Each structure stands twice: as structure tokens, then as C-alpha cells.
């Protein structure tokens, strides 16, 4: 109870300081897509200067560096990085932190995402100096991570609510969210089927009307895993020093589409008796109803035979790509080729030919941004 009261007090206190002279002037925001920004996970000279600058910012003993994980809906932002006259993830976070602590901050992201790309967990770091609002100059201990999370989310939800802090941790002053990352995992969602895309899936996946061959796509992935020259999967404008990358994982899985609600058949199957529940607790397999065939279950899953007004479901495939770093648009170019293998427009031999061509003009059209999700950024945390 005391933590909640302390958080409410701090939010109220920061809100009182939310006068025009304490706020940064807000730039006019536009939902329109900005011009493309080159991305790279290599260290350029300018990025090295940013890294050094971010380290020196925390020499003040009153400054605490926080590692902050955030989720967001990418279609509502013009990318993650700060840009003029555009609404961005970093811009929204910096505004929320400013309202919380009463002074501007700089936020550094682990991974740059383009307009339309979502994040289940993107990570950034921020330096916060806790200054007493009642007694200027008084040294106060840093905020607890849980307090930072609740307070920043309070201000984010008062805005659009399309970005949220999901975790916060204190880290040493030299810990950099981008350069300390050990690996990154991306997911890409494809929905296959002739039916129009559901309103609930709009801008959340790539709709492919054709049937997709899961086995063929899995074979194509195996041809791309490992250390290669990925010049054929490197968009123009990429500033990475080398096209050599190591794909630790590239695979395709078929999963349930979301949002998912059980059909009549599935609800009946889950209506376990006491005997079945006991069998489950003993890790025993619960047999299907004798009257339910595999074909019936598939029809129930797809929505066929369920009566009027029931939408037929799409098949949902997820491409997972995991590596320490990626080239600009590499994942979306990879998915574009994998999808073409799934539809039969390309073969596994064609994938090998495209990889060996070492030119992006050999690749298939790039997959749209709406299906891509930054899933996780891994660290060796202290």
C-alpha cells in the first residue's frame, strides 16, 4: 500500500510541475510515413560518439541509468528513432519521462524499427537524475524500477496508450542498450487464405491469399541459416560495414491465429470430466472424443460448418529470425523469398541462387512492415 501511495504522490507532484515553462515544446506530429532511414547494427563514427556521450552522462553520482523494455503498435508511429515532425516511439517515451521527472532526457534504443513494425519487447536505456522539487539541490536516492515503470506508464496511457513500459532495471553507467545486446529475435506473421483479412488483424500480419506449403518454407529456411554474405537481402541505403551476418535461427511454424476463440467442437473437447482432469494431472494423454475426426476438428478450427455469421479462419504462419544483428530490411527480404517458396513461385534451389547472387535485385519483393515484430533483445545482464 505504501508503494502505491508513494507512486501516486510522485505522479501528482510531477503533474504540478507540468507547466508550459517546464515542458519541451511539442513538435507537430504527423501519422504519415517518413522518408526511409538507413539502419545498421554496426558502429559508425557518429554512433561511437553517441555511445561515448551516453556513457559520460552518468558520471554524476545522482544519475541512475535504467534499462527499459517497451512494447508498441508500430503502425501508429513513424518508426522508433526520433525524427522531425513525426510521432516516434522514442519521442513518446522522452515526453513521458519528462513529465515524470520534470526535466528532459535522452533515450537510446537497442534496435531501430521502421514505420509499421511492431515490438513485443524493444529495449532502451535512459539516464535519470532525481531532483527534489520541494528543495532544489537536495540529493535524493534513485527511483526504484517499479516506481519508474508505473509512473512512466501513467503518462503514456494518458496520451495514445499505444506504447507501454513492460520492464525496468537499474544498470551500470556504461551499460548501452544497443551495443551490449547479445542477440535479437524477430517474428513475422503471415495469414494464408482467400477470405479478406479480419478487422482485428488489420496492420498486424501479411495477408497471403494463396495456400502456403509449410514443408517447402521450412526447407528454404534451412538453406539460409548460418554465416553468409547476405548482400541479396540487404536493402539500398544500408550503412553496415559488411554484409556478412550469422543467422542463428530461421524457421517457420504454423500457429493458431489470434484473436482466438474456441469453436463448439473445441469447447466440447475441453469439457473434461473428473477422470480426464486426473489423467491430465498425471501427464497422461486424454483421448479425443470417438465421434470427432481430424477432419471435423479442422473444419471447426477454420469455421466451416459452424452456421451463418461465423468467419472462416486463416492459417497463421510465423517466421522466426534470430541473430546478433541484422542488415537493413534483412528480415523482410528473407520473408519475401520464403513466402514465394510457400506459394510455389520459387524453389529451394532458387533461394540458394538468390543468396549466391549477392545483389538485392535478385531477391523477391520485400514483405510489408505490418507483419514484423521485434520479439526479444537478449543481454548478459549484471
Q: Which residues are catalytic?
A: 114
Q: Give me the count of residues in the chain.
A: 382
Helix axes 2-16, 145-158, angle to 10 degrees: 50
The helix/strand/coil state of 24 is coil
CA 91 to chain centre: 17
Distance CA 206, CA 201 (A): 9
Give me 234's grid cell.
Answer: 540487404
Instruction: With residue 8 as reference, give the H or E element that holds it.
Output: helix 2-16
Nearest alpha carbon to residue 315 among 304, 330, 331, 329: 304
Residue 9 grid cell: 504522490
Asked whether the beta carbons of 123 and 67 are under 8 A apart, the reply is yes
**How far apart, in whole angstroms, are the C-alpha atoms of residue 250 and residue 335?**
10
Q: Are 68 and 168 in contact (CB under 8 A)?
A: yes
Kind and range of the H or E run holding 26: none
CA atoms within 13 A on the CB side of 235: 20
Which grid coordinates belong to 372? 514484423
Q: Which set of grid coordinates corresponds to residue 368?
A: 510489408
Grid-cell match 493458431, residue found: 256
Residue among 255, 224, 176, 253 at smallest CA distance from 327? 224
Amino acid at each position: 500500500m505504501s508503494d502505491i501511495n508513494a507512486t501516486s504522490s510522485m505522479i501528482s507532484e510531477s503533474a504540478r510541475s507540468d507547466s508550459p515553462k517546464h515542458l519541451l515544446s511539442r513538435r507537430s506530429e504527423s501519422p504519415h510515413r517518413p522518408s526511409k532511414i538507413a539502419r545498421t547494427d554496426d558502429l559508425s563514427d557518429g554512433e561511437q560518439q553517441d555511445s561515448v556521450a551516453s556513457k559520460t552522462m552518468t558520471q554524476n553520482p545522482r544519475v541512475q541509468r535504467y534499462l527499459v523494455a517497451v512494447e508498441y503498435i508500430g503502425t501508429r508511429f513513424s518508426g522508433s528513432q526520433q525524427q522531425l515532425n513525426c510521432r516516434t516511439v522514442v519521442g513518446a517515451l522522452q515526453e513521458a519521462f519528462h513529465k515524470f521527472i520534470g526535466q528532459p532526457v535522452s533515450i537510446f534504443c537497442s534496435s531501430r524499427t521502421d514505420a509499421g513494425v511492431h515490438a513485443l519487447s524493444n529495449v532502451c536505456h535512459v539516464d535519470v537524475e532525481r531532483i527534489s522539487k520541494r528543495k532544489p539541490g537536495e540529493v535524493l536516492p534513485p527511483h526504484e524500477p517499479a516506481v519508474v515503470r508505473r509512473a512512466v506508464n501513467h503518462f503514456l496511457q494518458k496520451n495514445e496508450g499505444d506504447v507501454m513500459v513492460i520492464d525496468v532495471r537499474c544498470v551500470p553507467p556504461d551499460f548501452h542498450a544497443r551495443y551490449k545486446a547479445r542477440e535479437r529475435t524477430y517474428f513475422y506473421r503471415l495469414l494464408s487464405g482467400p477470405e479478406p483479412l479480419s478487422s482485428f488483424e488489420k496492420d498486424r500480419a501479411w495477408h497471403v491469399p494463396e495456400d502456403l506449403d509449410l514443408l517447402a518454407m521450412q526447407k528454404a529456411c534451412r538453406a539460409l541459416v548460418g554465416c553468409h554474405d547476405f548482400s541479396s537481402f540487404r536493402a539500398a541505403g544500408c550503412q553496415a560495414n559488411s554484409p556478412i551476418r550469422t543467422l542463428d535461427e530461421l524457421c517457420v511454424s504454423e500457429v493458431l491465429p489470434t484473436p482466438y476463440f474456441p469453436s463448439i467442437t473445441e469447447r466440447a473437447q475441453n469439457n473434461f470430466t473428473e477422470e480426464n482432469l486426473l489423467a491430465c494431472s498425471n501427464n497422461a494423454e486424454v483421448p479425443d472424443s470417438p465421434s470427432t475426426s481430424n477432419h471435423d476438428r479442422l473444419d471447426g478450427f477454420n469455421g466451416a460448418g459452424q452456421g451463418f455469421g461465423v468467419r472462416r479462419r486463416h492459417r497463421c504462419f510465423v517466421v522466426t529470425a534470430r541473430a546478433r544483428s541484422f542488415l537493413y530490411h534483412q528480415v523482410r527480404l528473407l520473408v519475401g523469398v520464403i513466402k514465394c517458396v510457400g506459394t510455389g513461385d520459387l524453389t529451394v534451389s532458387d533461394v540458394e541462387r538468390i543468396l549466391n547472387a549477392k545483389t538485392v535485385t535478385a531477391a523477391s519483393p520485400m514483405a510489408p512492415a505490418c507483419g514484423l515484430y521485434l520479439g526479444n533483445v537478449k543481454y548478459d545482464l549484471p
